[in-house]
Amino acid sequence: MSTLHIRGNRRALLTTAGAAGLGVVSVFALDACSADGGGIGGEDAAAQTAGVPDLQDLENAEDIWQALLDGNQRWADGAAVHPHADVQWRESLVEGQAPRAAVFSCVDSRVAPELIFDTGVGDIMVTRTAGEVFDPLVSESVSYGPAALEAPLLVVLGHQKCGAVTAAHEALLAAEEGTELEEHEYALPETVEALRPAYEAAKGESGDPVDAMIKANVLLTIEALKGHPNLAELVADGELTVVGGVYSLETGLVTEIS
């Protein structure tokens, strides 16, 4: 069986839309929202986003990560600017995309990366599974942004009070102790098994065992992604940086972990 290799080119993606008269490069110079943007427009949008770097202008992974953390701080402070959310910007992306980061996170409805990092349409490429559980098919989705679209940053994001990790911890602990768990109509046997390595890695850690398991799962996922066939060479060459974080539901802040 042959393998299809897809490799993007950021410069080509940024200029393709020009054929439709909506060149992405020129759009970058416009206000964040137009007067007909279906929300904040014109001068109001420019004032709101003043001093906020455009994620699309950033090339370095460290700068992109800092911009995401700055956006997260705005989110936590209730001062999100919601960039790249107007009609003009949406139309400029019809012919191509150039996300600056890929984010792998949980399906939890309270943890939407586009919102908690205060980013807009086309800024980040997000893959979500319960508890960031990851298998070969999922890994191909996660690696698409960096490998095919040249996004230089990949973020693995766990979160406080993760239901999938909590359920897995309870099930694995009960099995270890030989106790019975209350049965639920919704079963997660494959998710539980996929999270077993994080459960084992978190043993002996101080503090809340579920919190320790959440962190362990992020760190194990980072290592798995760094060694993925689509990403290993990019990581080795310094073209891709993989970082991890845990989101607090209580504060709204992402804490980097290593």
pLDDT tens digits, 77-125? 999 999 999 999 999 999 999 999 999 999 999 999 999 999 999 999 9
Could you tell me if residue 215 is inside a domain?
yes
Please tell me the chain's helix, strand, coil percentages from 3-state DSSP, rounded to the nearest 5.
45, 10, 40
Residue 188: band (very low, low, confident or very high) from pLDDT cuts 50, 70, 90? confident
Residue 48: band (very low, low, confident or very high) from pLDDT cuts 50, 70, 90? low
Indicate if the pLDDT at residue 158 is higher than 60: yes
Could you tell me if residue 22 is inside a domain?
no
Q: Residue 159 phi/psi, 5° resolution?
A: -150, 155
Could you tell me if residue 73 is inside a domain?
yes
The answer to whether 118 is a known ligand-binding residue is no
Percent of the chain with pLDDT over 90: 72
Q: What is the span of the domain harbouring residue 188? A: 58-79+96-257
The answer to whether 33 is a known ligand-binding residue is no
Neighbouring C-beta atoms of residue 103, cutoff 10 Å: 25
What mean pLDDT comes out for the span 237-243? 98
The answer to whether 162 is a known ligand-binding residue is yes
* pLDDT of 179: 85
The answer to whether 211 is a known ligand-binding residue is no
Q: CATH code at 101?
A: 3.40.1050.10
What mean pLDDT comes out for the span 151-162? 98
Could you tell me if residue 29 is inside a domain?
no
Helix (H) or strand (E) holding 60: none
* pLDDT of 11: 43
Could you tell me if residue 148 is inside a domain?
yes
Lowest mean pLDDT among 7-11, 27-31, 132-136, 194-198: 27-31
Q: Which two tokens stand for residue 59?
A: 């090339």
Neighbouring C-beta atoms of residue 131, cutoff 10 Å: 28
Number of domains present in the structure of the chain: 1
Could you tell me if residue 183 is inside a domain?
yes
